[in-house]
Chain A
């Protein structure tokens, strides 16, 4: 863990992001060879629409995982903020942007509650965010009952300005969502890698006690990362609502696992202390390209997409584990002789 500040490991990081870039390029080349439609900018950028929420949330879940925590409630907050937005706009007569702000504020409070339990009560992050995911999914469902619309239909008919959030394309090509993602990625990069706050996040992940003794308010830092990830989840929820045109309480239900996959694939250690925003962003794009390209170019059914993503994750983590333990050979394991770690 101590090495994480040494230049040697920095090179490995750079290498890792390099590998991710290579993977993306390889995917694009293979898909383009198979189906030339894939390279059309409109199609290529259009592919981002479906995964933009994973990209945005995983950027900030990286913060949580660097402090050594985990956040499996982000998916439920996506749904919660979507439905709060819809109900506030339709049934309580809020302006659509005011409703968006309300949704983000509510998400921030949710993240704050979970973060408080984790940081100040010392409960395991996994348990708290597990409970949080049940709680916020449930609250989302209850909020949807406040609406006059049946909850399974979803609230629709949003004003044009709000829908343009996802329909507008810069220069007629780049969707506005991609620009939001890029802005957030740059923001997250600066926040994590260029500010004092970012250094403190890393230090808390490396050694919380040492961080505490060096005068950092570690509990506040930990709590803040959960607020950040919850707010980013609500941003993703708002964009997803705009893209789909309907507000529903369950639109984020399947996001949890892809988010964690993206963060881990991006080189973040789940034990904390190591990770980077560019890595996560690249990994999210790599997964997204895979999920988009396989059905388009190889006619793989949508339902089978869990396999390639799962295999990609397994291959990479196993490969990394083998590289880290050169003494480990398949033969020795089969014979039951497991070398010491």
Chain B
């Protein structure tokens, strides 16, 4: 089991490396460290979003309200900043919003036992509407300069603070999920919810926790979005939920739950968000963006699933062979 997990992440990492290598072959100017690191820097919003939804996907559920949560928390944080509150207060308010929506999602899915796609779909509509009510349909502009400039501050030579923070959070989350007892509960619940309950894991609480974490990550992504873009429209984050889910799939997570990791999700986010940049270097217009994304997603998933099915069948065949051999041995 652990081996499979490892190979899945390494697969997507190799895929990313291969992609960078191939693009570099066609257009050598892509191979400069600045360009490649900028691919990573630009993915920071999606890294947070995908890492957040990875918790939910690992437990075998889905959350399509994260785009709206991103928009709402960005709007809430941005209005506070505009009205002269500090960055810490704005971030706290945004995280609070994300956690509350996540809590509602979690209770709906885990306690009321409503299919997650449908419940979060309803929440998505309501939250999207709340954004309009809150902002009165207007843009949130005139954010303080020290907040918008934060997105350009560099940690080291090329890496921004934000991406550094994202990497740190993903690594911590990854270690918690794979090394600690409580962290392994997430995968266990996703792998087999009923079985996890039987061995004493509080499956419902883990699911609620995963939604709260997802909400918090989305709201942090919202604040970073606000800092990078500099203004918030009421449609901010529209469609981001689908892209984040796609990033998770590219990163080797299975939507049935129990397979994958945060590291994989964040690599998927980098692949996802650098496609348009790569297209520019290949000389295509960005019109091909969606086509390539869809094509990549379908190809990877189909190959992955076919390979998995093949192994399952092969294993079953081998087990059968071993069993028949044993029986033959007993008789003799």
Contacts and interface: CB of A to CB of B under 8 A. Distances in A.
A91 interface: no
A307 B112 contact: no
Interface residues of B, number: 50
A137 B246 contact: no
Interface in B3-26: none
B interface majority secondary structure: helix
Contacts of A271: 115
A138 B129 contact: no
B130 interface: yes
Nearest to A336: B205
Interface in A291-332: 301, 303-311, 313-314, 317-318, 321-322, 324-325, 328
B297 A138 contact: no
Interface stretch (A5-13, A21-29, A124-132, A178-186): A124-132
Interface residues of A, number: 51
Interface stretch (B32-40, B286-294, B318-326): B286-294
A121 B305 contact: yes
Given A127-B255, A271-B115, A318-B108, A310 B249 contact: no
B111 interface: yes
A261 interface: yes
Interface in A96-135: 117, 121-124, 126-128, 130-135
B117 A270 contact: yes
Contacts of A333: 107, 111
Given A122-B305, A134-B290, A134-B294, A325 B113 contact: yes
B126 A311 contact: yes
Contacts of A134: 242, 246, 290-291, 293-294, 297
B305 A138 contact: no
Interface in B105-129: 107-108, 110-115, 117-119, 121-129
B126 A121 contact: no
B118 A257 contact: no
A142 interface: yes
Q: Nearest 4 pairs between A and B by C-beta?
A: A310-B125, A135-B294, A138-B291, A307-B129
Interface of B: 62, 107-108, 110-115, 117-119, 121-130, 132-133, 137, 204, 234, 242, 245-246, 249, 254-256, 287-295, 297-298, 301-302, 305-306, 309
Interface of A: 70, 72, 117, 121-124, 126-128, 130-139, 141-142, 145, 257, 260-261, 264, 270-271, 301, 303-311, 313-314, 317-318, 321-322, 324-325, 328, 333, 338, 341
